[in-house]
Amino acid sequence: MKKKSIVMIIFLIGALLSGCSDTYSHSRGVYMLLDTSGTYKSELNKANAIINYLLGTLQTGDFLGVARIDTGSFSEQDIIAKAKFDRRPSVSNTQKRIFREKMDQFLSSIKSSPFTDVNGGILQAVEYLNEINPAEKYILIFSDLKEELVKGYVRDFPIQMNGLIVVALNVTKLQSDNIDPREYLDRLDYWKNRVEQGGGKWQVVNDPERLDEIMKG
Amino acid sequence: MPLPDFLILFPDFPLLSFFVWILLIVLMLYLARFPAHRAIKLLGCSIRNGMRLISKSILLAEKRLAQRNKEVLLAAGRNAVERLIEREFYRVDAVVKRDLSGYPALQLALSDQVTRIEEDYQRSAELPPPPPTWVNAVEAVAKISSKGDINVSNILQEIHKTIDSQYRNTMEDYRKSMNERHFILRKMVPYWRKLTQKLDEVSKTIAGLKERAGIIDNRMEEYEEIRAKTDKAERILSSSAMTQFFISGLVLLIAIGGAIINFNLIALPMSEMVGGSSYIGQFKTSNVAALVIILVEAAMGLYLMESLRITNLFPVIGLMDDKMRIRMIWITFGILTILAGVESALAFMREGIAADLQALRHSLANGETLEPVNSWIPTAGQMVMGFILPFALTFVAIPLESFVHASRAVAGVVAAAALRGFAFLLRLIGAVAYYASELMIKIYDLFIVPPLWIEKLIQGKDKETEVSPQEEAT
């Protein structure tokens, strides 16, 4: 009888402990790339609003990173700010305030880059998100998606993007797109194919309010 | 619709083939008429009988369930009445202990009062001494005629004076005595009042006891009815259970509302303690922790009510010896107070977190820093609510007990009604199947009307031929 009750207690404690473990991660990881090339620099003020939206939407335990796209974007030096929000709401709020300050500083002292390495930025984002491994991974590209690489930079290889949602934001039309709109459509198709071939999901959002629907899933 | 090739008997006359087939089918149906009728009838009857059988067994089960319901109801009623009677006896006991335990003292006080009154009365009854006996002698002398005799006249005058002074003395004594008697009687008034007061008190106590005895009589009548298992008692208990079920259900809903408010009050600050990003299954750990706190409070409230013997959901607690029970009361009350304090602190934290979050959202939306509103009223309100709600939840035990007890009876009644309905449905299906088989037989006969008509004609002729030789004989 005594033995039976001890086994019962052990079983109950085991059941309780197994019930307490986190069986499923609910965190979200968002990596945002900002195009700082000369043609796109003037658009960056809009990016500020999106970053503020993300800071307001992301919860404790989520990750947010912002990096710039410049001549060579596959580098940690291009990361402007990054934070994994603490599990405590009060600490998380402080982190968000610091993040915002960093972004303000960056946007006030931004320098345009002569080239645009979008692929490098995406590769950096994929690396980073896979390392953190949140439940939902988003790469937001705030760019016109026109890639201009320095001679010798190799980017024409496939990138593994399994489980990633790549969202192109505010894809502006260039002067040349106005002359031949097929260029714009070809550009979008190129990136769509590249993402989907890598196993990712591609979306284009020109209205920032639609971002809410995508983030909610 | 054209006939399939294998059915065409005369390729040149498809219509003829069709009619031949019809004829054959009708003939076949006619020949198979009686076995087909029997088969259809058998099917209908077997469905009806099967359904009746199932319905009967369901009705038997319903009867057993109704009997069990009655027993449950009567047992619950008996327990309730027993508890009520017990409580009434406790009250009577309390009254007797409180008021009538002092009865010997009261009797002593009353007899003391009566003795005093009696003594005073006796003292007040003391009369002044009667006039001296020589007055009679003087009276006789006074009757002697003086008739000019100066000596006699003087003697009489002297006697008169003496009598006068005696009269005055006697009157004075009398008045004095009367005054004393009045004084004694005046002194008796407070004693009389005290006596009346004490008798009133006794009378009130006796009236209260009489009232209680009346209530006990009524309860005993109810108890007798329940023990006799009368239908009246069952009806009363059933309706009472229904009422209890709905009322306690309503109160429980209100309590659930309170628990939800309580939950919202502590769920957000809980994320500060256990983290806002961890999950248990599909639920946030902070939400689960808040829920657990509320459930623990409800459980403590339940134990407290049990220990206080207000509810009787766990007989083990009620049967504990008083020392242990009182210890349990203090322990549960202590845990409840600590949890209420924790909730109050969480409610305080909630206000701070909510204000910080609001300020952050405002600064992100407008780029301006929001000045926090320094008002202590919402904070104090939330803290008070956080402290009071756990104690308020304690009382959930009372409607919960009623709900549990009443739901047994109500569930039994509902199950019995469902069984009755099901049995009726099965009987209906059986009857429908039976009459459907009858209808099918009639429809079957419709298809073979021509051979039936011919058969009738032949039978008619046969009858005629059978009848005609008799007729001839007559």
Q: What is the pLDDT of residues B339-375, one digit of tens each?
A: 999 999 998 888 888 888 888 888 887 767 666 666 7
**Residue B329 within any structural domain of the chain:** yes
**Residue B442 within any structural domain of the chain:** yes
Residue B279 to residue A22, Cβ atoms within 8 A: yes
Residues 6+ apart with CB under 8 A from B242: B406, B409, B410, B413
pLDDT of A23 strictly over 60: no
Same domain (yes/no): B435, B387: no
Mutate to test the interface with A, among B350, B357, B360, B368 (most CBs of A within 10 A): B360
Mutate to test the interface with B, among A16, A58, A63, A97 (most CBs of B within 10 A): A97
pLDDT at A205: 87
Which of B377, B395, B413 finishes a domain?
A: B395
CB contacts, 8 Å: B272 with chain A: 88-90
**Residue B82 within any structural domain of the chain:** no
**Residue B89 within any structural domain of the chain:** no
Same domain (yes/no): B443, B376: no
pLDDT of B69 strictly over 70: yes
Nearest to B272 among A62, A89, A97 (CB): A89
- Among B85-89, B172-176, B465-469, the minimum mean pLDDT is found in B465-469
Number of domains in chain B: 3
**Residue B344 within any structural domain of the chain:** yes
Same domain (yes/no): B186, B131: yes
Q: Which residue has the tokens 């769920």?
A: B267
Same domain (yes/no): B366, B251: yes
Mean pLDDT of chain A: 82
Q: What token pair was written down for A48?
A: 């500020």
pLDDT of B12 strictly over 60: yes
- Residue by residue, DSSP assigns B33-89 as HHHHHHHHHHHHHHHHHHHHHHHHHHHHHHHHHHHHHHHHHHHHHHHHHHHHHHHHH
Nearest to B364 among A24, A55, A89 (CB): A55
What are the tens digits of pLDDT across the range B198-253?
Answer: 888 888 888 888 888 888 888 888 888 888 888 888 888 888 888 989 999 999 99
Same domain (yes/no): B295, B359: yes
pLDDT at B473: 53
Q: Average pLDDT in the A117-133 region?
A: 91
Same domain (yes/no): B262, B388: yes
Structure confidence at residue B142 as a pLDDT band (50, 70, 90): low
Nearest to A87 among B275, B353, B357 (CB): B275
Residue B356 to residue A90, Cβ atoms within 8 A: yes
- Among B53-62, B294-303, B327-336, B376-385, the minimum mean pLDDT is found in B376-385
**Residue B74 within any structural domain of the chain:** no
Nearest to B276 among A24, A53, A89 (CB): A89
Q: What CA–CA distance (Å, rounded) separates A126 from A128?
A: 5
pLDDT at B460: 82
Residue A52 to residue B365, Cβ atoms within 8 A: yes
Mean pLDDT of chain B: 85
Same domain (yes/no): B301, B359: yes
Q: What CA–CA distance (Å, rounded) separates B447 from B150?
A: 169
Mutate to test the interface with A, among B271, B277, B351, B362 (most CBs of A within 10 A): B277
pLDDT of B263 strictly over 60: yes
Q: What CA–CA distance (Å, rounded) separates B405 from B76?
A: 8
∠ CA A202-A206-A211, nearest 5°, is 70
User: B338 versus B178: which is more confidently predicted?
Assistant: B338
Residue A87 to residue B278, Cβ atoms within 8 A: yes
Same domain (yes/no): B269, B212: no
Residue A24 to residue B281, Cβ atoms within 8 A: yes
Same domain (yes/no): B217, B284: no
Same domain (yes/no): B387, B281: yes
Tell me: ipTM over 0.85.
no
Q: How many CB pairs under 8 A join A and B?
A: 69
**B438: containing domain:** 5-68+428-473
pLDDT at A36: 85
Same domain (yes/no): B273, B356: yes
- Among A49-53, A72-76, A190-194, the minimum mean pLDDT is found in A72-76
pLDDT of A212 strictly over 70: yes
pLDDT of B394 strictly over 80: yes
Map out the domains of chain A with their CATH numbers.
26-216 (3.40.50.410)
User: B161 versus A13: which is more confidently predicted?
Assistant: B161
Q: Average pLDDT in the A80-105 region?
A: 91
What are the tens digits of pLDDT across the range B408-464?
Answer: 888 988 999 999 999 999 999 999 999 999 999 999 999 888 888 988 888 887 777
- Among A147-161, B89-103, B313-327, the minimum mean pLDDT is found in B89-103
**Residue B34 within any structural domain of the chain:** yes
Spell out which chain B residues touch chain A, with contact meaning CB-CB distance below 8 angstroms. 268, 271-272, 275-282, 285, 352-353, 356-357, 360-361, 363-365
Spell out which chain A residues touch chain B, with contact meaning CB-CB distance below 8 angstroms. 19-27, 52-53, 55-56, 59-62, 85, 87-90, 92-93, 96-97, 100
pLDDT of B271 strictly over 90: no
HSE-up of residue A73 (Cα within 13 Å, Cβ side)? 32
- Among B40-54, B115-129, B409-423, the minimum mean pLDDT is found in B115-129
pLDDT of B54 strictly over 90: yes
Calculate the alpha carbon distances from A125 to A156, A162, B421 in Å.
17, 13, 66
User: B106 versus B1: which is more confidently predicted?
Assistant: B106
Residue B268 to residue A89, Cβ atoms within 8 A: yes
Q: What CA–CA distance (Å, rounded) separates A102 from B366?
A: 17
pLDDT at A16: 47
Mutate to test the interface with A, among B278, B356, B362 (most CBs of A within 10 A): B278
pLDDT of B258 strictly over 50: yes
Calculate the alpha carbon distances from A8 to A145, B191, B252, B316 in Å.
62, 76, 33, 21
Same domain (yes/no): B390, B274: yes
Structure confidence at residue A17 as a pLDDT band (50, 70, 90): very low
Nearest to A24 among B268, B279, B353 (CB): B279
Residues 6+ apart with CB under 8 A from A27: A61, A62, A63, A134, A135, A136, B277
pLDDT at A12: 46
**Residue B238 within any structural domain of the chain:** no
